[in-house]
Amino acid sequence: MNRILSQTKGDRWIWLIVILLSVISALAVYSSTGTLAYKRGVGAESILIKHMAMIFGGIALMYVSHKLDYRYYSGISKVLMMVTIPLLLYTLLFGNHVNDASRWIAIPGTGLTFQTSDLAKLSLITFLARSLSRKQENIKDVKESFMPIMGSVCVVFILIALANLSTALMLFGVSVLLLIIGRISIKQIAVVCLAGAVLLAGVIFLGPRRKTYASRIQTFMHPSKVDRDKSFQSDHAKIAIATGGIFGKGPGNSTERNYLPHPYSDFIYATIIEEYGLIGGFSLVLIYLFLLYRCIKIVTKAPKAFGALLAAGLSFSLTIQAFANMAVAVGLGPVTGVPLPLVSMGGTSILFTSVAFGIILSVSRHIDEYEDNRKVVIGEIREKEVAA
């Protein structure tokens, strides 16, 4: 055990948060997949085993990602962007269609699907961190700095938004936050927001899923005026939360898991509250808030702009996604397909989330090494001063 701990570097609290969220995920997924297992004709244990394999695979990727010096991700980001944009185009044209949305592509020979927006989030955030850190000296130059940054944000946004508007909006929000941190002028940020608003209006009113978006907004704004079938998910999520009470029904005692279409992914937070009560739900909120706090500490301590921007972008992305999922579950937002990071059952989402955690830990590891080296140098200087 000591040998394993000695090999893991970076913020120990983030490692603990990852382990804690993984345990919560295993308990919640096992409890909420009974109906899914019945439909597939398998035992719930087999689904749990596959889910645990993804969790352990994610932890392995996180370990590898945190061992790699975060500065290497600057060069990797260019390759990721060159791969991401064609993949997003391919997904829109030839991807697997589920609920009138083309978000996944099949991985040949594995029977698994790959959601390209997960890769796009990681790619765009690392690319923006690289661009903003490298162009700090002429950051206000429109042609050299602003246009390439704006172009990358808008292209990725529109390619994701056509099939997955909620993810695109969250990624756009994170991008704007990075632009603010990266000292882009208010006028230029306003231009980016205006371009995003135009693209958003085009997707909502002219896009292939415009009827779906209109229906979800109408259901959220006026639930009493729509068919009960359209508000089925949100209604049963509210029932789960209301019947959970303060202390919950206990692990494995959820009843709404048998009615909710996706109690193990999109509405797993409602299942957790039903079984563990408001105490369990509030504890999960505190975990994500504490994660954000630890990441902000990393951002403020990072000696280089790239590391600070990288940690900020990835941490904002994870926490915004978490609170978006929880907001939908408790009825504070229209229904979306956003998973709860490291808790919802999923494949590529768990793996890419784990890589994001690994990159944050890589920045944290570099800070620790930087401070250790600084202490050694200061000690040597003091020794020389005493000797003199």
- DSSP assignment of 99-131: TTEEEEEEETTTTEEEEHHHHHHHHHHHHHHHH
What was the pLDDT predicted at 369?
Answer: 75
Phi, psi of 149 (to 5 degrees): -70, -45
Which residue, among 64, 81, 48, has the nearest Cα to 155 in the 3D structure? 81
Helix, strand and coil percent figures for the chain, each rounded to 5: 75, 5, 20
Q: How far apart are CA 55 and CA 27, in angstroms?
A: 13
> What is the per-residue pLDDT for 360?
95
340: which DSSP letter? P
199, 161 in Cβ contact below 8 A? yes
- The pLDDT of residue 63 is 93
| Positive/negative CA dihedral, 284, 289, 292, 298 | negative
Structure tokens at 299: 């951002």
User: How far does Cα 270 stand from its chain's mean position?
Assistant: 19
Tokens of 38: 């019945």
Between helices 305-329 and 268-301, what is the axis angle to 10°?
160
Each residue's pLDDT tens digit in the chain (388 positions)?
455 555 677 889 999 999 999 999 999 999 988 888 888 888 888 888 999 999 999 999 999 999 998 999 988 998 999 999 998 888 888 777 665 666 777 776 666 677 888 899 999 999 999 988 887 667 666 667 778 888 888 889 998 888 888 888 999 999 999 988 888 888 888 888 898 899 888 888 887 777 877 777 777 777 766 666 677 788 888 888 999 889 989 888 888 888 888 888 889 999 999 999 999 999 999 999 999 999 999 999 988 889 999 999 999 999 999 999 999 888 888 888 788 999 998 778 899 999 999 999 999 998 877 676 666 667 667 766 666 6
Structure confidence at residue 315 (pLDDT): 94
Q: Which residues contact 141 (CB under 8 A, 6 or more apart)?
A: 135
List of long-range contacts for 202-207, beta carbons under 8 Å, 24+ apart: 203/158, 203/161, 203/162, 203/165, 203/168, 204/165, 207/161, 207/162
Distance CA 280, CA 293 (A): 20
Are the C-beta atoms of 315 and 291 separated by less than 8 Å?
A: yes
Give the pLDDT confidence score for residue 111 in this predicted structure: 63
Give 62's contacts (C-beta < 8 A, 6+ positions apart).
18, 354, 355, 357, 358, 361
Rounded to 5°, angle at Cα 254 from 292 and 18: 25
Give pLDDT, residue 1.
Answer: 45
